[in-house]
Structure 1
Amino acid sequence: MKNLNGVSIINCDNTLLYENAIISRANKIIDFTNITGLRMFSSMETIKKISKKVSSIINNINFLGSGDFHHLTYSIISNIPYEFSLIVFDNHCDYSEVPYGTISCGSWINQASYLKNISSIIILGVSKISYQSKSNKIYCIEYNKDFINNSINLINKTVKSNVYISIDKDVLDQKYAITNWDQGKMKLDELLFILKYIKSKFKIIGLDISGECKPYNPLSYIISNEVKVNQETNLKILDAVI
């Protein structure tokens, strides 16, 4: 695996346990299902404890489960000891402000902007930029007809060498992912094109993927459509960066 060390599953909600093809490719599964206060909103104290538990997988491809746990990206990247750029694919900006000492799946990018080793943060594919971030580290590209060119131009202008990538599949059209959040219209081929471009030009030091969805009928012996769709997309993302 070029640049990346392996595949890990951070199990917070059991959503990935239905994706057998992903489990078969995982080198490590870390179980956080017994930890309270992780879904959507957490204390920074809890996140710091999580950071210690994930310090060994910062250079892996890490599956986080539902987008409700996207802020666990912060717990991973806070361990990276050298300078890097953070590139995020998301239907939402995720840089809202929350009370001091807390972090959420909608605010984690704001907190990440204060990490000294992050030189820039690029958010790609949001449906609408409702307000601008106060940080001069954060750049945001809306999804539109010029999305690919705008993204490549910004990446070339901003990124130096090391890149950590965080993907929330809610950025994708529902044809390619089924999540528990409102979704964008990005095509999977567009996401894969940018991933392959980044891989060809820069060093990917780590990557995480969220945006899973529990099957509507978890007791069914038939693999549900949402699991099939998400697993197929996850596998294509893996193949694009490995």
Structure 2
Amino acid sequence: MEHPKHLNLDDAWRNEPFALPVVDARAWGPQLRFSAPPRLIERFYHEHEANLAVPFLLYGSGDFHYLTALRLRRIAGSVVLVSFDNHPDWDVRPPKWGCGGWINRALELPQIKHVAVWGCGNFECWWPHQIFGNRRAERAGVLEVHPWADDRPVKDRQRKGAILGENWRDLFERFSKGLANENIYVTIDLDCLCIEEAVTNWESGRFSVADLQWALGMLREFCQIIGGDICGAYSVTKYARRKQRFAAEFDHPKIRLP
């Protein structure tokens, strides 16, 4: 089995504790951050296909989360994608390759049987912003999103997939049991964690590290985890193109670092 790797795009994981073999891809970082044109994506994939194919990959800021869709290309057989993320990443608007809509690239792959996103804490799952999400896939049952509803009006708690701090573990255990014996790919964006436990380039979520440990334990108990990745650590932003910078700075929240 191939060993896990650290794909260093932006120095987000300096002094990471696992001492993983490092692939220096920092020349690609500014070109790929937040979004990139398809031709550039294919060039990157051609150059780093072998590195993207390892069972586990650690890589940069959540701005690069869409690279998970490239990793999924190499997986054979039917797979369920489970994402822990403060954002649903289901936006159907351009750009095609970007951190805000990469779930749709995953759903285009024939081997992806189902996608579930847990821990969405921002506005994108609620009216009116949800009109830009892939509601068609959600209605078809191939995509499920689980946004936090603790601070929403009572009627919003009836939204399909809505979770509360008091019930999400029960719902996740039921979800895991429903995937018994399925092959699972797990992707974690650190922005799903509360602000006390992770520093990222995006808004913070509500999970704790202990929550993620418990959830991964549930998946391991009932499913076969065949691969995974972690991204989302904070890094200084660098861009290669003016339109890319404009779109990214418009979309990013104003973060005050601790």
Contact 1:120 1:158 in 2 (8 A): no
Give the number of the structure whose alpha-carbon radius of gyration is greater. Answer: 2
Partner of 2:175: 154
Going by fraction, where is strand more abundant, 1 or 2? 1
Identity percentage of aligned residues: 24
Give the TM-score normalised by the residue count of structure 2.
0.74
Query: Which residue identity lines up with residue 111 of structure 1 in the other structure?
Result: R
Contact 2:8 2:25 in 1 (8 A): yes
Aligned-partner SS, 1:179: coil
In the TM superposition, 1:9-158 aligns within 5 A as: 9-16=6-13, 18-22=14-18, 24=19, 26-27=20-21, 29-35=22-28, 36-52=30-46, 53-99=48-94, 102-128=96-122, 129-130=125-126, 131=130, 133-135=135-137, 136=140, 137-143=142-148, 144=164, 145-158=166-179
Aligned-partner SS, 1:21: coil
Assess, with a 3 A threshold, how the Cα gap between structure 1 residues 47 and 37 changes in structure 2: closer, same or farther: same
Unaligned runs of 5+ residues in structure 1 are: 216-225, 230-242
Aligned-partner SS, 1:165: strand
Match of 1:203 among 201, 210, 224: 224
Q: Deviation at 1:70?
A: 0.4
Query: How far, CA to CA, are the matches of 1:198 and 1:13 in structure 2?
Result: 30
Partner of 2:212: 191
Query: How far, CA to CA, are the matches of 2:191 and 2:201 in structure 1?
Result: 8
Query: Which residue identity lines up with residue 6 of structure 2 in the other structure?
Result: I
Contact 2:176 2:218 in 1 (8 A): no
Q: How big is the alpha-carbon RMSD for the aligned residues of Structure 1 and Structure 2?
A: 2.2
Aligned-partner SS, 1:54: helix
Unaligned runs of 5+ residues in structure 2 are: 149-163, 237-256
Deviates more, 1:157-166 or 1:5-14: 157-166
Q: Deviation at 1:205?
A: 1.1
Query: How far, CA to CA, are the matches of 1:42 and 1:166 in structure 2?
Result: 20
Q: How many correspondences in the alignment?
A: 209
Partner of 1:179: 200
Contact 2:7 2:25 in 1 (8 A): yes
Query: Which residue identity lines up with residue 65 of structure 1 in the other structure?
Result: G
Give the TM-score normalised by the residue count of structure 1.
0.78
